[in-house]
Structure 1
């Protein structure tokens, strides 16, 4: 075959591939609009001298490289790359974007290995399975899994077979995923600020949530979105007003900021057909919401804070704070409903060991302040002194009777008996089973099955960069 025919063949193949590539880009444009990418073939591959000759094997090898490269360029990781330039040459493939430059040798198998890693893989559970029963949300919060994707962590089942976390959880009856989101986590005093433990990327921000939401929906699992309304973790010790809202002068302005942030995030999720089934308005808000401001002594974990001025603080220890907190809850709820009436809104507190606190909080918010949420959620941790699942039953039953128009969930639980430890005594599954038996409760979410801490032990064991399902931990959840 002469060089002219070879060039014509490459031209034809390249045009076909570009057509397919552009069609694929266009098919996503309604939900993920992206600037067009300029694809260039280097002269060392595309332009050949008249004296060059290639046999059929060499031609096939070159075509295979181009095909693999185009498949790589359209992988899910780069759906939203802006101002990108993809350049192919016979010796390397360079991906240039506004944030990174990655060079990968096309003469090795690393390209295909990378493109088929768990970071880009559509969950296997999305294919050929009957729909799950969503009459009860048997859930898990796997927010941190997003961070493991940066080093391509792989998951293995109890038989040490590689799988994805969605397929694995579904095989043990889990049907729902909870993920948290922060407003601007890479800002100063945010959890992903430079120098903090999580500074590799701003996991939990809008862009990462949009990407991970696609995986949840591909897995055909229910989706609970946990809005922290902070740049850092929001919990009983800290409810830090995010950087972008610290300029506001009064509660009306802050209410509007909450509404627009929530509306924007939910609208983006709806536009790509990944609307959550439930949205949590604040995280562990027993003391209130949007209470604190950072100081020069505040660290990555949000310690060493000061109270915000009373005029904007949602500190429920004061009358003005109660009114402000209710105003902020209502703003978040309204934003969710303005995007999707069918999406349920959730409020969330902890410390169920103190029944008086639970009853005070719910009376204030639902009866006095008239906040109209759909679902009430609780954290229930045996290791934090909350008691055992059997001891929660009386409180939970009394609340369902007192508030018959509310639905309830356990938004977070573990069965740990001490730091990083669990007795494998069935407490975890008992939480799920007992809560499921109470009329009015619609779900329970295991908190972070890949993490160990004060709350107890994980469901997985780490081996190098990979996670292996612990057989004892999953045995409790084994489908009967």
Structure 2
């Protein structure tokens, strides 16, 4: 064999060996994608949006777009993966009509406005969380005003019956329309309780910051009894949530309401987490907190409100609630920053074994709607829409591979 023949033989053998090695590598090997690419099964996990203002915005020149095309907002949220709509209910919010003066035509966030919203949400196949504020106006950690209809109550048992009857009547009405909510929230951000702000002398105020755990427990147990009575004959077996603001308050509040208040017959613990306001617990600590709550109380856990700005700027003369302070480290006030922190929060809830995340008022864009403090929106820089009404990145937090 001469040199040329030897070289040729080596080349042929090399090509033969290489081709067989490639066949062996590809023909019989099945490679699973990495776990992080598979994503978790989110069946049963609530990816929610509080759309309480939407009907009023639509009535006052608000326009929603998706990809530049004007669309119904309930459809937009469904198309982007939202599976739950949260709606607040006020007892008799006459002021929502009065702020428009002679141009006022109807009440908003009353039973009939909520009925309309539930119908529109359910038409899209969305579940509904009904948020009873037990007030004619906003109920939150700073205000828990008594409905005008209950101002003359002086006995805790009569107050309990008032709450029971109102809750029962509301749910019976909705159930009769085929609009029974899948979830109900009894009270909104009830850190110090409810039905106590500017309480008249002799009113059985349920302020737990003054030690009234037993009184609050009596009222909450009345509301729970009403839900249980209606769900006993309803096709929808509605779950019950209780709600406080800021995860730092969860253990103090639920320790006391379940013991001193004797309130135990509920299904879920809900809390608000606004990372720019609730700074004692960082986003990185949420999963551990949620896992601890689940273990301690044997209840499901859910973030009922969260939000973050995508810009520090505004689109109207109504001062924004967020955007002037320092952003959370790693999450600038940009579209990407808003999307990233929402995905981070959702991942933490999943890691802790929580059951859902609801973004508060992602559709509160600017329009000619009014409230007691301004015209337009104090939240348009936290919405899931830009200043032209088009959807932005954060609305797709529902489609992340968690």
1:86 aligned partner = none
1:153 aligned partner = 62
1:45-56 map, 5 Å: none
2:118 aligned partner = 213
Q: Kindly tell me: are residues 322 and 309 of structure 1, through their superposed partners in 2, closer, same or farther at Cα, counting changes over 3 Å?
A: farther
Say which structure, 1 or 2, has more relative contact order (CA 8 Å, 6+ apart).
2
2:224 aligned partner = 333
1:207-356 map, 5 Å: 207-292=112-197, 306-309=198-201, 311-319=203-211, 321-341=212-232, 342-352=237-247, 355=248
2: distance between equivalents of 1:286 and 1:176? 24
2: distance between equivalents of 1:172 and 1:213? 19
2:93 aligned partner = 185
Unaligned runs of 5+ in 2: 1-40, 313-320, 324-332, 365-376
Conserved in 1, the CA contact under 8 Å of 2:213 and 2:260? no
Q: Does 1:359 align with 2:251?
A: yes
2: distance between equivalents of 1:455 and 1:345? 31
1: distance between equivalents of 2:206 and 2:135? 13
Task: Give TM-score scaled by structure 2 length.
Answer: 0.74
The alignment partner of 1:153 has SS state of coil
2: distance between equivalents of 1:393 and 1:427? 14
1: distance between equivalents of 2:398 and 2:44? 18
Conserved in 1, the CA contact under 8 Å of 2:164 and 2:226? yes
2: distance between equivalents of 1:192 and 1:245? 21
1:468 aligned partner = 390
1:330-479 map, 5 Å: 330-341=221-232, 342-352=237-247, 355=248, 357-371=249-263, 372-386=265-279, 387-404=281-298, 406-416=299-309, 419-421=321-323, 422-423=333-334, 424-425=336-337, 426-439=340-353, 441-451=354-364, 453=378, 457-463=382-388, 467-470=389-392, 472-474=393-395, 476-478=397-399
The alignment partner of 2:87 has SS state of strand
Q: Kindly tell me: are residues 322 and 368 of structure 1, through their superposed partners in 2, closer, same or farther at Cα, counting changes over 3 Å?
A: closer
Q: CA RMSD in A?
A: 2.5
Conserved in 2, the CA contact under 8 Å of 1:191 and 1:231? no
2: distance between equivalents of 1:449 and 1:212? 15
1:164 aligned partner = 72
1:263 deviates by 0.6
The alignment partner of 1:262 has SS state of helix
1:143 aligned partner = 52
1:308 deviates by 4.0
Q: Kindly tell me: are residues 474 and 207 of structure 1, through their superposed partners in 2, closer, same or farther at Cα, counting changes over 3 Å?
A: closer
1: distance between equivalents of 2:345 and 2:381? 14
Task: Give TM-score scaled by structure 1 length.
Answer: 0.62
Conserved in 2, the CA contact under 8 Å of 1:383 and 1:416? no
1:358 deviates by 2.5
Q: Kindly tell me: are residues 476 and 339 of structure 1, through their superposed partners in 2, closer, same or farther at Cα, counting changes over 3 Å?
A: closer
1: distance between equivalents of 2:204 and 2:104? 30
Structure (1 or 2) with the greater strand fraction: 1
Conserved in 2, the CA contact under 8 Å of 1:185 and 1:193? no
1:222 deviates by 0.7
The alignment partner of 2:382 has SS state of coil
Deviations, residues 20-65 of structure 1 (Å, cap 9, x unaligned):
xxxxxxxxxxxxxxxxxxxxxxxxxxxxxxxxxxxxxxxxxxxxxx
Q: Kindly tell me: are residues 287 and 258 of structure 1, through their superposed partners in 2, closer, same or farther at Cα, counting changes over 3 Å?
A: same
